[in-house]
């Protein structure tokens, strides 16, 4: 599990989603009403995963190393 809020709760998780990644790129230069609607929907989507100040989502990380042959 990955705490996308880094211990900061639901608001921190929403802010993270709004400032980095694909959502941030899509929302850049959009009208304020569209940004507000996106924020509300992101919060609604993340709310079920909030527990005790964490917003924990399933995750996987691949570590890849390249070596010359």
pTM of the predicted model as reported, rounded to 2 decimal places? 0.78
31-40 contacts at long range (C-beta below 8 A, 24 or more positions apart): 39/14
Q: Residue 13: what pLDDT?
A: 95
- What's the structural domain count of the chain? 1
Q: Residue 18: what pLDDT?
A: 92
Q: Is residue 65 part of a domain?
A: no
How far apart CA 5 and CA 14 sit, in angstroms, is 8
Domain that holds residue 45: 2-57
Q: Is residue 68 part of a domain?
A: no
Q: Is residue 41 part of a domain?
A: yes
Q: Residue 23: what pLDDT?
A: 86
Q: Residue 14: what pLDDT?
A: 95
Per-residue pLDDT of the chain (69 residues; tens, 9 = 90+): 889 888 999 999 999 999 998 888 999 989 999 999 999 999 999 999 999 989 999 989 899 999 998
How far apart CA 19 and CA 25 sit, in angstroms, is 8
């Amino acid at each position: 599990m990955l705490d996308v809020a880094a211990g900061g709760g639901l608001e921190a998780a929403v802010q993270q989603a709004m400032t980095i990644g694909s959502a941030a790129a899509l929302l850049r230069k959009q009208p304020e009403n569209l940004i507000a609607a996106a924020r509300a929907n992101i919060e609604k989507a993340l709310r079920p995963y909030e527990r005790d100040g964490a917003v924990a989502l399933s995750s996987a990380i691949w570590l890849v190393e390249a070596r010359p042959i």
